[in-house]
Structure 1
């Protein structure tokens, strides 16, 4: 059995990997709406978040009509 089916913070794609998920969770980021409030540079500055995770997060954001740097996201 693998741990890949373990519950993940809501809205974060499992494909970004555990290090990226943990890095985001450590910053209190548990949803794509919160990710949308950050720039790609801010994400890459987090230890554990690399270019692949940022690309996958960008794809997930686009699928929801969101993009990086949408500061108003999640503030309603």
Structure 2
């Protein structure tokens, strides 16, 4: 039954980071690791729900999937 209701955009990062941070990404229309890689770590840290712990969890998940934050020049 769950698979019928599965929405990869709504479930983006489910179980990786907390709901407030996930909702902040959703508000910014960031619903994939590819879109997330268009942002710098500093830009994401400014969003509601993101602190050191959350950003570390996110970076670890991104690294596992070979995706990284945009580098600031």
* Cα distance in 2 between the residues matched to 1:60 and 1:69: 15
Deviations 1:26-63 (A, max 9, x none): 00011111111111100011112222121111111111
Moved over 2 A (4+): 6-11
**Corresponding residue for 2:3?**
none
SS at match of 1:34: helix
> Is 1:20–1:49's contact at 8 Å kept on the other side of the alignment?
yes
RMSD: 2.1
> Is 2:12–2:22's contact at 8 Å kept on the other side of the alignment?
no
Which runs of 5 or more structure 1 residues have no equivalent in the other structure?
A: 1-5, 71-76
SS at match of 1:55: helix
TM-score when normalising by structure 2 = 0.73
- Rg (Cα) greater in structure: 2
TM-score when normalising by structure 1 = 0.71
Which runs of 5 or more structure 2 residues have no equivalent in the other structure?
A: 1-5
